[in-house]
Amino acid sequence: MWNLFTTVGVFVFLAHQIASTIYTFESWPYGLAVCKISEFARDLSIGVTVFTLTTLSIQRYTATHHPIRYLSQKGRGTLTKTNALIWLLSIILATPGAYNSFIMHVNIDTNQTIQVCYPFPPNLGQWYPKLIVIMKFLSYYAIPLCMITIFYSLMARSLIRTTENPIGQNESHQKLLKNRLKISKIVLGLVIIFAMCFFPNQVFMLWYHFNPKANEEYNSFWHVWRIIGFILSFLNSCLNPIVLCCISGVFRSHFRRYILSSCFCCCYCCFWCCCNQYNLNHFHPTTSSTRSREASITTPGFRSINSIDLKDSGQTSMRTTIV
């Protein structure tokens, strides 16, 4: 599950913050380096998410249908190798988008030119966009969803057979099956959300790059469809923690603990600042005269700062003394 948490962070705090400016600024404002980073971060987060969900569905099927094999293969070394393979495959698939992305200059009228971050260089020909789009559709959507559907169908059949033949099952075995079924529901919920959120964007990309008259037929319907797909692709990362909180008690307890610890740290910092300010205002003597007034402020880095001379001429100056 930590892969999903990591990709949520990458997608929301990096890819989302950069890509959202497409609908904010008229022209790309960040330059070539950020253009490449944004394409790489988006493809990387999608790849890690879908490959993690596929791996989890395979693990759920193995744990349900072949529990002895699952327990023999379960271990920190196997988990590390699996995660490393997921990230390596995602990096490989995200590299072409980062390498070939460039700043394209588009003339919208005779007096104005805008810059666009575009992942398909024109010198590679018309076949390159189609190849990349169909590759992403197969590797990020169609093939993983087919594999997940197959493994969940097999797992459902195995669970139905187990519930229909409870002979020889003790209470601990039934509790174990119930826990595995609950985990399977969590993974299935995440898969359904992923399929629904990325479906509009996949449909638009296939239509736009494989329809020869896409530019002529692009109308308000496809524009709204594209915006919906853009929003849903980011909404997927926002819904994953909510689904886990609603279904998983373990995740919910950890989430509460981290939230409470964060709130405690914030409250402690506010209390510390207020106490320091109170001590400064009530226990540090100040000296006043008809020509000047000096206030002494104590800070962690400076023992004292003598501030603001109010002179008769009306001019204000700041004098800082480090003791």
Rounded mean pLDDT of the chain?
A: 72
With a cut of 90, say whether residue 6 has pLDDT above it: no
Q: Could you please report the per-residue DSSP string of 104-132?
A: EEEEEETTEEEEEEESS-GGG-THHHHHH
- Of residues 305 and 222, the one with the higher pLDDT is 222
Close Cβ partners of 43 (under 8 Å, ≥ 6 residues apart) = 90, 93, 94, 97, 98, 136
Q: What is the reported pLDDT for 162?
A: 64
Q: What is the reported pLDDT for 302?
A: 37
Query: What pTM was computed for the model?
Result: 0.66
For 228-283, write each residue's pLDDT tens digit. Answer: 988 887 777 777 667 666 666 666 676 667 666 655 555 555 555 555 554 545 54
For 181-214, write each residue's pLDDT tens digit. Answer: 777 777 777 788 888 988 999 999 999 999 989 8
The share of the chain scoring above pLDDT 90, in percent, equals 17
With a cut of 90, say whether residue 101 has pLDDT above it: yes
